[in-house]
Amino acid sequence: MFLCGSDRPLLRWVAYALVANHAGGFFWGHVRIEGEVFDDSDVLKTSLIPRERFITVSPSELKRDEMAGNVALGGLMRSESDADQVRRFADFLRLPAQTQDLFSRLPQGGPSPVLVLSGGQRLTALYTRAEVGPTLHSILEFGGSMLMAWSDDPPSGRSEFDQVFHLKGHEPAKWRDAILNVEKGGSADPLRTGAELRLVEVPQVASVLTRVISSNQRDNSGQ
């Protein structure tokens, strides 16, 4: 899933709402630049994201390792290993080390958690459009699913995602006035391709934000 919008705190609240009730839970990674300070209204400033499932990384830590994958592929292809298994192993080694570490912590049984990545726009220089598809394919193949939160103009590589949403709104407190445009979705309501919805018309988002943003506002006002 790809979610883009210009208001970073609101974008991250909506991302949280989309994964909050997922059966397998979620891991949240944030691509952080030096000196970045989160707004008081940001979900990343709350305790809603468990500390053990939250990690901040620099952009360079999420670079693909093409050399590791190519070396493995070249060496193993000369063995009698199954070709498909060799390819999968090479694809795994090309994933960023942080992503590989997350996979090592995924549960072996039951639903897998969603891998959320906010600040995704900071990876623009590290990923060509040709690399987006293979990276997403590897994540799915190894039992993961991804929600990318992108606070900048959407890149052309977003078409590789199964769902693409554009969020138009300003500040979390006014989330009810925000609009979600579905560039790429399904055929069923409400998140069908081409739909333009107020967030209050998206049940899985509205039910979470109605509860948690109001609670967060009360907590902040009491400080």
pLDDT tens digit at each of 223 positions of the chain: 999 999 999 999 999 999 999 988 898 999 999 999 999 889 999 999 988 889 898 988 888 776 654 544 454 444 444 566 556 666 666 778 777 777 777 766 777 888 899 999 998 888 888 888 888 877 787 767 889 999 988 988 899 899 999 999 999 999 999 999 999 998 878 999 999 999 999 999 999 999 988 666 555 555 5
Q: Distances in Å between the alpha carbon of 119 and those of 22, 60, 129, 152? A: 21, 13, 17, 9
Give Cα separations from 202 to 21, 75, 116, 147, 211 (angstroms).
14, 49, 19, 17, 14
Q: For the whole prediction, is pTM greater than 0.85?
A: no
Domains and CATH numbers, the chain: 2-221 (3.40.50)
The residues pairing with 149 across neighbouring beta strands, listed in sequence order, are: 3, 118
